[in-house]
């Protein structure tokens, strides 16, 4: 089993449990591929989420990304919602403010034409933890950004105050890769991004 982020072999990894490993090279904790869901089961899991774009609580949850975009770019800017899911709430909120948004999702918005364009910003909310090939996905997003662009992500980072064994976030079977300051810096340096800023669940990369 190779680390899905840096592709180093199991000799560089520490087994945490039958399902999870910790890579000594990039610091990534990840789920072993033997425990991945099938595509059908994965989609079924996503459809079970309550992703109503008009839900006030859902809109409030994504506010950090929406605010970051609005503070960084004017409404003439073009953005991509990467991993938009069945309820692309960020795209709705930004479109309502005049931004031009495209959607990409392998299950719900499979339109590869949007991957032939370039964007002022990309939003990637509660998606990066689902990546089976995170290096490939981050490299793709980097290549889709215009010079000076931003990649605005949200995910829950590895906790510092409780053990991994007791962390609820790992219990979702669609969560494959888990992030920390260590591997986010590794991504910045190895994917070719200039900056990374972490503010709670909000992670902002700059090109």
Which string of b and e fits 30-42 if b means at least 16 CB within 10 Å? Answer: bbbeeeeeeeeeb
In a domain, 28, yes or no: no
Considering the entire predicted model, what is its pTM? 0.95
- Rounded Cα distance between 80 and 118, Å, is 9
Domains of the chain: total: 1
- pLDDT of 75 reads 95
Query: In the predicted model, what is the mean pLDDT of residues 175-202?
Result: 97
- Read off the pLDDT of residues 20-55 as tens digits, 9 standing for 90 and up: 999 999 999 999 999 999 999 999 999 988 788 999
* Position 152 in a domain: yes
Residue ranges making up the domain that contains 54: 38-206
Predicted local confidence at residue 144, as pLDDT:
98
* Residue 105: inside a domain: yes
Average pLDDT over the chain, rounded to an integer:
95
Residue 144's CATH number:
3.40.50.150
Q: Where do the DSSP E strands lie in 27-77?
A: 29-31
**Cα angle 65, 104, 54; round to 5:** 55
């Amino acid at each position: 089993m190779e680390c899905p982020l840096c592709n180093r072999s199991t000799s560089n990894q520490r087994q945490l449990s039958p399902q999870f490993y910790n890579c000594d090279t990039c610091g990534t904790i990840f789920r072993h591929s033997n425990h991945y869901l099938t595509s059908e089961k994965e989609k079924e899991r996503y459809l079970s989420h309550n992703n109503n774009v008009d839900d006030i609580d859902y809109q409030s949850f994504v506010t950090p990304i929406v605010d970051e975009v609005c503070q960084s770019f004017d409404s003439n800017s073009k953005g991509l919602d990467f991993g938009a899911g069945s309820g692309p709430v960020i795209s709705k909120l930004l479109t309502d403010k005049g931004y031009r948004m495209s959607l990409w999702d392998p299950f719900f918005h499979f339109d590869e034409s949007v991957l032939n364009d370039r964007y002022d910003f990309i939003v990637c909310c509660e998606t990066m933890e689902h990546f089976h090939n995170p290096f490939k996905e981050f490299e793709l997003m980097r290549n889709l950004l215009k010079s000076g662009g931003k990649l605005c992500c949200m995910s829950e980072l590895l906790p510092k105050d409780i053990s991994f064994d007791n962390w609820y976030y790992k219990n979702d079977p669609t969560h494959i890769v888990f992030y920390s300051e260590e591997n986010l810096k590794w991504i910045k340096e190895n994917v070719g991004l200039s900056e990374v800023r972490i503010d709670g669940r909000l992670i902002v990369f700059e090109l």
